[in-house]
A and B are shown apart, each in its own frame.
Chain A
Amino acid sequence: MSTVSYPMADTATMLRRNLRHALRYPGLSLGAIGMPVIMMLLFGVVFGKTFSAGLGGGNGFDYIDFLTPGILLMSIASGTMSPAVGAAMDMTEGIVARFRTMAIFRPAVLTGHVLGNTILTIVSLVLVVGFAILIGFRPNASLGDWLLASGLLIALTVALTWFAIALGLTSKTAEGASNVVLPISLLLPFLSNTFIPLESMPSGIRWFAEYQPFTAVIDTLRHLLLGTPMDNGTGWLALGWCAAIAVVGYFWAQKTYNKGTIA
């Protein structure tokens, strides 16, 4: 008997499952969507004036403009919590055992998590841009720039989500999963040029911030949306990071998911 595989149909079924979960269990998704908006308002409005002054505001420097690309990455980063926990919860329950004994497209279960989270993150990104514009974000980007920026943001979302799912799968419990992704959701956004320029950081941290993926992506976004100068090759570096994280995350996640079973 030949068995036909239905990659698209099975992935779509798993995506529907994950979107239903997001609607049924809105706490996690709302938290992920709402947190960056709060950070945007907190740093933009509440601390904004002081930060702006400290960073030599006035001479054409607008802190909201500086801040927004970083907050977009923060949305992506904080959004990785929910698929990591979701994937870990799947593994602790019997449902994944059921899926594994069925003739369905193997990567569909995890891909469903990634696509679901990508859709939620896009919602979050749109909200952040909306609030940013409300409080004074003034990008001067062409449609092409916007498309490139959106593409880069989505690429980073997919990459980080695969990586977070791999991390989530390695932990035994949902609580564990929410802890192991903390470096992604906290460390990377804060130890980057999201809130302050690299020059103002202590040297050790500055070294980390300079070479970690978020900084390259943020530089590229600032260049695309605001026309700030950027080193040659930073854009490619940003894309390269996304590709590398995605590949490592994907294979690590699939390997962990299939561990001990007949593939």
Chain B
Amino acid sequence: MSSAIDVRGLHKSYGDKLVLDGIDLNVAEGTIFALLGPNGAGKTTAVQILSTLITADAGEIRVAGHDLHQDPEAVRAAIGVTGQFSAVDGLLTGQENLIMMADLYHLGRSEGRRRAAELLEQFDLVEAGKKMAMTYSGGMKRRLDLAMTLVGSPRIIFLDEPTTGLDPRSRHSMWQLIRELVAGGVTVLLTTQYLEEADQLADQIAVLDQGRLVAQGTPEQLKRRVPGGHIRLRFTAPEEFALAGQVLPSASRDEEALVLQVPSDGSVHTLRALLARIDDASLEVDELTVHTPDLDDVFFAVTGQPTTHENAEEKVTSK
């Protein structure tokens, strides 16, 4: 497969602050690539550089086969960008925003109107299309934003935190839209703070921490390096805790807090099995919480939690 985005040795600093410290990325055509990291990791800076918005200090970058520094216009013609901050014109209606984009892509008057109507339909904005975008809810603005990005049918789409601040329903509908895009052959590079989002969508995930790529791989490869989900059982009576330790030998024990951590993949099946064993032994459990791996766990795993440090080191891909 040829690569849609190819980056080698990308550096960027603002004054003394090093924001990106030698990033290498390769995104295959027609796939979803997630750049995962906390606030301030450099995700947005990376997207801004790859989408020609700001200049890099060093690095070789090819997007859609074009060298970003030598031919930025050709890159711009191939990409679509939906930034973290709403890039809609609040004083124009949804429809006018889309038609403005169609005009800027020089689609022609009737084709532009047709495309705008089609996208309003696809993004569930038909009714809102006549209203000024500044009156839209957060989810509607995001949808209009993405619709505007799609007017020119770009081959590569950058989405900077596409679901941050959205309610769960809007988030799921955004995920669905992104999947449909890729089904149509588009390449997507998205950034996110949520492991779950990267897991749901991405073919490849790169974990960015303080301007360095600390891990890269498929969601499965990445999750395998996370200590994993567990079910946490808290007891009030020491004797119950001791008994539970015998019933559940695989659990790790915290004697002082009277807490057992039972490894679990978070599925209902394992939970039911665990509850059955607790019932069989008539254990008095004070509190039960299910813990699924999240970004924090991935971070601990790849940035230096002692138990998984060795494991993490061998796969670290930063220079």
CB atoms of A262 and B104 under 8 A apart: no
Instruction: Kindly state the interface size class of chain A when it binds its partner.
Output: 20 to 34
In the complex with contacts A1-B74, A262-B72, A100-B52 CB distance below 8 A: yes
A260 proximity list for chain B (CB < 8 A): 54-55
Separation in Å of the B24 CB from the closest CB of chain A? 21
Bound together, the chains give a CA A99 to CA B68 distance in angstroms of: 17
Cross-chain contact of A20 among B79, B83, B92, B145 (Cβ < 8 A): B92
CB atoms of A10 and B104 under 8 A apart: yes
Determine whether A231 belongs to the interface, using a CB cutoff of 8 Å to chain B: no
Separation in Å of the A171 CB from the closest CB of chain B? 19
B152 proximity list for chain A (CB < 8 A): 102
A98 proximity list for chain B (CB < 8 A): 81, 83, 87, 148-149
CB 8 Å contact bits of B53-84 with A (1 = contact, 0 = none): 11100000000001011001110111101010
CB atoms of A93 and B85 under 8 A apart: yes
Separation in Å of the B70 CB from the closest CB of chain A? 10
CB atoms of A97 and B100 under 8 A apart: no
Bound together, the chains give a CA A100 to CA B54 distance in angstroms of: 10
Determine whether B163 belongs to the interface, using a CB cutoff of 8 Å to chain A: no
Bound together, the chains give a CA A103 to CA B80 distance in angstroms of: 10
Could you jot down 22 A-B contacts, CB within 8 Å? A1-B66, A5-B73, A17-B89, A24-B92, A93-B87, A94-B87, A95-B88, A95-B89, A97-B83, A98-B83, A98-B87, A98-B148, A98-B149, A101-B52, A101-B79, A102-B76, A102-B105, A103-B73, A103-B76, A261-B53, A262-B52, A262-B72
CB 8 Å contact bits of A83-112 with B (1 = contact, 0 = none): 000000000011101111111100000000
A12 proximity list for chain B (CB < 8 A): 103
In the complex with contacts A1-B77, A101-B81, A102-B76, A261-B54 CB distance below 8 A: yes
CB atoms of A262 and B100 under 8 A apart: no
Determine whether B96 belongs to the interface, using a CB cutoff of 8 Å to chain A: yes
Determine whether A138 belongs to the interface, using a CB cutoff of 8 Å to chain B: no
Separation in Å of the B64 CB from the closest CB of chain A? 8
Separation in Å of the B44 CB from the closest CB of chain A? 11
Determine whether B106 belongs to the interface, using a CB cutoff of 8 Å to chain A: yes
CB atoms of A20 and B76 under 8 A apart: no
Determine whether B293 belongs to the interface, using a CB cutoff of 8 Å to chain A: no
Bound together, the chains give a CA A95 to CA B85 distance in angstroms of: 9
A261 proximity list for chain B (CB < 8 A): 52-55
B54 proximity list for chain A (CB < 8 A): 260-261
CB atoms of B83 and A94 under 8 A apart: yes
Bound together, the chains give a CA A105 to CA B200 distance in angstroms of: 38
CB atoms of A3 and B89 under 8 A apart: no
CB 8 Å contact bits of A1-29 with B (1 = contact, 0 = none): 11101100110110011001100110000
CB 8 Å contact bits of B125-166 with A (1 = contact, 0 = none): 000000010000000000001001100100000000000000
Separation in Å of the B144 CB from the closest CB of chain A? 12
CB atoms of B69 and A262 under 8 A apart: yes
How many residue pairs, one in A and one in B, have C-beta atoms under 8 Å apart?
86
Determine whether B204 belongs to the interface, using a CB cutoff of 8 Å to chain A: no
Separation in Å of the B238 CB from the closest CB of chain A? 58
| Interface size counted on chain B using CB atoms at 8 A | 37
Cross-chain contact of B92 among A1, A17, A104 (Cβ < 8 A): A17
Closest 10 interchain pairs by CB? Answer: A94-B87, A98-B87, A103-B76, A94-B85, A13-B103, A103-B77, A3-B73, A101-B81, A262-B72, A24-B91
Determine whether B13 belongs to the interface, using a CB cutoff of 8 Å to chain A: no
Among B54, B77, B91, B148, max chain A CB count under 10 A is at B91
B68 proximity list for chain A (CB < 8 A): 262
Separation in Å of the A11 CB from the closest CB of chain B? 11
CB atoms of B91 and A21 under 8 A apart: yes
Separation in Å of the A100 CB from the closest CB of chain B? 6
Among B55, B87, B96, max chain A CB count under 10 A is at B87
Bound together, the chains give a CA A25 to CA B90 distance in angstroms of: 11
Residue of A nearest to B141 (CB): A94
Residue of A nearest to B47 (CB): A101
CB 8 Å contact bits of B36-58 with A (1 = contact, 0 = none): 00000000000010011111000
Cross-chain contact of B77 among A3, A9, A10, A24 (Cβ < 8 A): A3
B66 proximity list for chain A (CB < 8 A): 1
Bound together, the chains give a CA A137 to CA B104 distance in angstroms of: 45
Bound together, the chains give a CA A100 to CA B73 distance in angstroms of: 10
CB atoms of A97 and B87 under 8 A apart: yes
A10 proximity list for chain B (CB < 8 A): 104
Bound together, the chains give a CA A100 to CA B96 distance in angstroms of: 19
B92 proximity list for chain A (CB < 8 A): 17, 20-21, 24
CB 8 Å contact bits of A187-208 with B (1 = contact, 0 = none): 0000000000000000000000
In the complex with contacts A13-B103, A101-B76, A104-B104, A262-B55 CB distance below 8 A: yes
Residue of A nearest to B92 (CB): A20
A20 proximity list for chain B (CB < 8 A): 91-92, 96
Given contacts A97-B87, A101-B52, 17 further A-B contacts (CB under 8 A): A1-B77, A3-B77, A9-B106, A10-B104, A20-B91, A93-B90, A94-B85, A94-B87, A97-B48, A98-B148, A101-B79, A102-B105, A103-B77, A104-B104, A260-B55, A261-B52, A262-B72
